[in-house]
Amino acid sequence: MEKELSVKHLMAEIGMGRLFQSVGGANSGLGRIASAVTGLMLIAAVTVQPLGVTPAFARGAPDSFADLAERLSPAVVNISTSQTVSAQGGRQRPPGLPDGSPFEDFFDDFMERRGREGIPRRVQSLGSGFVIDPSGYVITNNHVIEGADEIKVIFADGTSFPAELIGRDSKTDLAVLKIETEKDLPFVPFGDSNSSRVGDWVMAIGNPFGLGGTVTAGIISAINRDINAGPYDDFIQTDASINRGNSGGPLFNMEGEVIGVNAAIISPSGGSIGIGFAIPSATAIAVVQQLREFGETRRGWLGVRIQSVTEEIAEGLGMDEPRGALVAGVNPQGPAQEAGIEPGDVIVEFDGKAVPEMRDLPKLVAETDIGRKVDVLVIRDGQEQALKVEIALLDETETAEAEPDEGDKENEAGTVEVLGLGLSSLTASNRQKYKVPADVDGVVVTYVDPASAAAQKGIRPGDVIVEVAQNDVRRPGDVVDRVAEEKASGRKSVLLLLASGGDLRFVAVRIRDAN
């Protein structure tokens, strides 16, 4: 667009120069001035771009979305679901009824009466979807069809088909349906969401509030959004109007490719405020392929518990900057254990790909083929160390249970105070008092100064300090000694590994006021 404007502007100026020439003559004073001005403009237009720099021109807004909408709409469908809900107490809001509706009290009274009568209800809901294969495969959100007894796919011309659920994935909120038909269906292809940029035009088609075939347009507002919807969040944010009922519908680029599956909105009022989120096609394609092939997802498993690396934790580990995923625990039956990954390691690279933040690692692991051996780069004791891990299959239903050690060895008694914490040995009585599992060893926190940095980090009585600066501790004196060593080395904070409620986590606590 900038290039077009500059050319038009230049042509207009050239035309003005010719006008001056025609009025005053090419050799007249006025004509010479006009020619000189035009020449300067030509020079400016040619030399404004620095040498060696390639200009990046944003694609302009289309004159109309009509051709695109007309071509794509036949492949976008309404998803109608129904299920029987047993009568139960509590307020039940009818699907699609907005807050503050004048009919709200009427429906509340009606539903309360039916609840008292113990009458099961048949609940219907509407969502969106799109056909990705002419043989009848349809994509939608998992939350659109979850718990449904009956699913129907309705096309723009009113044709309705019963749908079979092929597979669904709650972690990415995707589902694959299949309808049977004798003729090929209109369909739309997936595009590459990784090539999309903030500011690109996008178009959504869906079924908001039951209004099928609704077309809205906007731009990509942001990418790689984490909205705490699941472990693999990587949403596209758009200001294209998305409302209730748009869930499961496609988000198109200007080539007519699906680069996102509309999934969520932020809306205090229930309507669009210009903040909508779509699952990127880069995530959806792999999940859809697995659901079609296996009826379930098959994700890679590393067998570690991880947490973010804050600035204070990075300083406590001797890292120049916070990056990577900090390993808080290792599953004894997992691939990481066999590969030699240890608690306190920071995974900064996985399979040749950088891990800038903690949330990047689960996505990389999940997308890795089962049984594949990959290189993992960790930071341990301030030094990089390369390891090789064979990725296993993640059992989504498995719950790991810790096996208690045999017997309970009495630790040496003693109570001290450091970092604003009262510490005591982990005796049998303390284990019983604070409900510390038998397989946890360390020093128990008995008191926390509410004004201390430790309190600000969420440390509570009953937490067990397992490690200080990545060294095991068994007595309160061990904690004091390790903190003193870190303080003497010039550290501003000390890294603690805490066991709390059955989980392990690292916490960096400031030590400038340590005893």
Rounded-to-integer distance, Cα 414 and Cα 420, Å? 17
Q: Which two tokens stand for residue 492?
A: 């501003």
Which string of DSSP letters, residue by residue, matches 275-293? Answer: -EEEEEHHHHHHHHHHHHH
**Parallel, antiparallel, or unpaired: how do β-strands 300-301 and 415-418 relate?**
unpaired
Whether 241 contacts 267, CB under 8 Å: no
Nearest to 276 by CA among 254, 249, 243: 243
H/E stretch holding 113: helix 104-117
- The residues carrying an active-site annotation are 143, 173, 247
Give residue 243's Cα distance to chain centre.
20
The encoded tokens of residue 100 equal: 């503050």
The closest alpha carbon to 421, from 399, 376, 454, 391, belongs to: 454
The total of other beta-carbon atoms located within 10 Å of residue 72's CB is: 21
Calpha distance 258→213 (Å, rounded) = 16
**CB-based contacts of 403-412 (< 8 A; 24+ apart in sequence):** 403/439, 404/437, 404/438, 404/439, 405/438, 405/439, 408/438, 411/441, 411/474, 411/475, 412/474, 412/475
